[in-house]
Amino acid sequence: MKANLGEMDRFFRLAFGAILIGVGTVFGLFAPWSYVVGGVLVVTALLSFCPLYPMLGINTSEKVA
């Protein structure tokens, strides 16, 4: 599993994922979906790997080998 997320991509995934989880927790709006989508965004940001990117031929990582 090679990293395929760049720093900016990771930052926005982590920020948006945390916001979704927070909104679901605080306001209860769309709670199940916000936890699922927010959790996926946070986990992919922390792993620096998005499983969809290789299928689409996308790589935002600076380290292209």
Number of structural domains the chain divides into: 1
Give the integer Cα–Cα distance in Å for 50 and 52.
5
- Residue 14's pLDDT band, with cuts at 50, 70 and 90, is very high
**Would you say residue 62 lies in a domain?**
no
More confident position, 59 or 27: 59
What average pLDDT score do residues 21-48 get?
89
Range of the domain at 28: 7-56
**Would you say residue 63 lies in a domain?**
no
**Would you say residue 52 lies in a domain?**
yes
Given a cut of 80, whether residue 56 has pLDDT beyond it is yes
What average pLDDT score do residues 14-41 get?
89
Given a cut of 80, whether residue 55 has pLDDT beyond it is yes
Whether 41 contacts 16, CB under 8 Å: yes
Residue type, 22: G
Residues in the chain: 65
Closest by Cα among 3, 49, 43, 47 to 21: 43
Whether 4 contacts 55, CB under 8 Å: no
